[in-house]
Structure 1
């Protein structure tokens, strides 16, 4: 990373973000014109994680960056906003992600009963991520209304509420809450009080839900790239006459009508057919698209065994896919010395010429017990939170990811700025 002598001056603010103009004095061989950058506020968490690292050259390098300054980075994609502490897919979470330096914000896209596009991670997660059960008139329409826990049978409390159960007008009456539920609940009020202990309800007092259009307007105002994910419908398609292709086209149309430049878009889908549709109908849009992979295409999926993959990387490339985004664990493994190294999956993707984006950093709670699902291929080398930074470094430098989805963008912003990404 080239050391810069930087002089900065405040240009103004936008939605609480500080715009800073910086003139960097670099060696003659790398001299560039002055550019405006958006200052980022990374908060205390990156420092906690760096402090928690075992002694190493990486820790020393990260410690030297502690005084900043920190700026927005395109290496950072705000995953659902900032759901480590803010209700996901809410205005408040998106603003937090932008303030922490995310160069891209994500809206997971699904649809309401009247086919309006809204931001939700799953079409049927409203019982766990909003206060819908506290709106008795709307909750009556849930696919599976609230049922209390049954101590005799051991059945947990349950409810399934989908965006497709309600209209856009009803959706707008809801408030976002932290993802979670109380399986022992006897009442709807108890059910919604289920936030995991490692998250917080401190910032869940507002929880402004967002439509796709709301997100487009906000993200444009913030000057960030936009990454809509077309979520898999949880209802049979066609839905009230809307086919899967109609649904995919509605997403394209929303951005075309809004005049968002193609280079500012990173559309996503787990459904390869969605990408193939976009590539055929709007090639520029399709070439920007990210193919998401969670490694469940085969019951014996193994990132070290290509025979267990549904597609080869070369096949995906031939079909027009430009970027693949697997879960973090699929990109790494442990060598004989129990050091984290790229997996065969990562090596083959790179060999095929695919860009790689990883998800989702800081989605897990504390890592004392191996980190859970997101760390499953390297759990034997994970025993404390500082190991997150070690994995991040391997993903950036050895795997060569172009960006990372993060539940707490400030952490990745700190790393990205320190490493010149």
Structure 2
């Protein structure tokens, strides 16, 4: 399946920036790739792709909606902060993400999960740690240190008192202060100082000012729903209402959810937003009563099928990148059956997450599990990205360091 087929018709909406001239002129000043794309190219195996990418070193960076900031630029910045998203925008990301959850007073905030405050903020080392669902418990004997702190444990005013940190925790910690640590060595804490948390509404204003479009993800609740009378439908609707209140054109919003019912709610109740709602497909973990454990490479066993999703009004699907690629008999990276089925149903394909695996010398881990045997160097980020763009035909790629994707998209004219 070729990329030209997938980018026909309505699917070009995601592939091309949807900004006004004012946004582009104001926000694109000072865009920079930084050093990382050149570093990754230097680590590629010799060949035509490396030569082509190297020849683009002198190009002027341009914003592209093919490059999506995954929680901003969390390879080096605390995720879902003002600073992380400013960095992503400066790297040319045309779409930025706020993962959306809610506080005790039902205000929408940007967090990857409702129950991640203990790994992404300093809460356990503050007086607010006592309000956590599971306050900090130190490591002892064979037991790891533990905590579980939810946004729903706090009011919005309390949430604002927290300081963001890089996503990590020290399982061997014996004090709350020691628990805030364990950052992977290929990340950094250099940019943690004075990072700023955001509400969902604040993210809308920020992203708009940066010239970027929006991909909010409605996160599953850690609390039972309805929560104090706040139903799942109320939750899904409030996300959309905040874009309407800000006067954002629906064509600039790609609302996401792993819950298909949320996507179908938007299609039925907010059709302008539902037209480009994104189903984050996690059926690689699903179990079918008749088939047993579903083989993610055998898309025909998925229920609903790709064609059935399309018939429901779903236009975009977003699986992890390993679901879209596999190895052929010669060990080359090629599109998977899943990718071919999605393309045949004319679904726009978005994928996640590039640059989340760190150094690739060990095969790339979870995100590259279907092509591990072909991954042995950092330059393979670009080898996989090229297959995703040119052979699978994805229309957008989430990245923890958007400059990597922006550089590729600019070089290839996507």
TM-score (norm 2): 0.91
> Match of 1:145?
135
How far apart, in 2, do the equivalents of 1:41 and 1:321 lie? 35
Q: Deviations over 1:21-80 (max 9, x none)?
A: xxxxxxxxxxxxxxx965521110111110000101000000000111111111011000
> Match of 2:169?
181
Tell me the SS of whatever aligns to 1:71.
coil
1:274 aligned residue (251, 262, 265): 262
How far apart, in 1, do the equivalents of 2:209 and 2:297 lie? 43
| Contact 2:281–2:318 under 8 Å retained in 1 | yes
1:64 aligned residue (47, 55, 62): 55
How far apart, in 2, do the equivalents of 1:148 and 1:353 lie? 51
Give 1:420 shift.
0.2
Equivalent positions of 1:265-414 (< 5 A) are 265-294=253-282, 295-298=284-287, 300-414=293-407
Q: Deviations over 1:229-271 (max 9, x none)?
A: 0000011000000110011011111111111001111110000
- Say whether 1:52 aligns with 2:43: yes
More helix by share: 2
| Contact 1:78–1:408 under 8 Å retained in 2 | yes
- Say whether 1:165 aligns with 2:153: yes
How far apart, in 1, do the equivalents of 2:168 and 2:120 lie? 7
How far apart, in 1, do the equivalents of 2:225 and 2:381 lie? 40
> Match of 1:31?
none
Give 1:133 shift.
1.2
Give 1:302 shift.
2.5
Tell me the SS of whatever aligns to 1:326.
coil
Give 1:134 shift.
1.8
TM-score (norm 1): 0.90
Equivalent positions of 1:34-49 (< 5 A) are 40-49=31-40
Q: CA RMSD in A?
A: 1.5
Q: Deviations over 1:344-386 (max 9, x none)?
A: 0000000001000010111111111110000000001111111
| Contact 2:28–2:211 under 8 Å retained in 1 | no
How far apart, in 1, do the equivalents of 2:366 and 2:244 lie? 37
Tell me the SS of whatever aligns to 1:60.
helix
Give 1:311 shift.
2.1
Structure of higher RCO (CA pairs closer than 8 Å, 6+ residues apart) = 2
Larger Cα Rg: Structure 1 or Structure 2? 1
Give 1:221 shift.
1.0
1:126 aligned residue (97, 117, 126): 117
Query: Gaps (5+ residues) in structure 1?
Result: 1-13, 21-35
1:80 aligned residue (65, 71, 82): 71
How far apart, in 1, do the equivalents of 2:303 and 2:144 lie? 35
1:275–1:419 Cα change, 3 Å:
same
Query: Gaps (5+ residues) in structure 2?
Result: 1-21
How far apart, in 1, do the equivalents of 2:385 and 2:32 lie? 19
| Contact 1:300–1:308 under 8 Å retained in 2 | no
| Contact 1:128–1:179 under 8 Å retained in 2 | yes
| Contact 1:303–1:343 under 8 Å retained in 2 | no
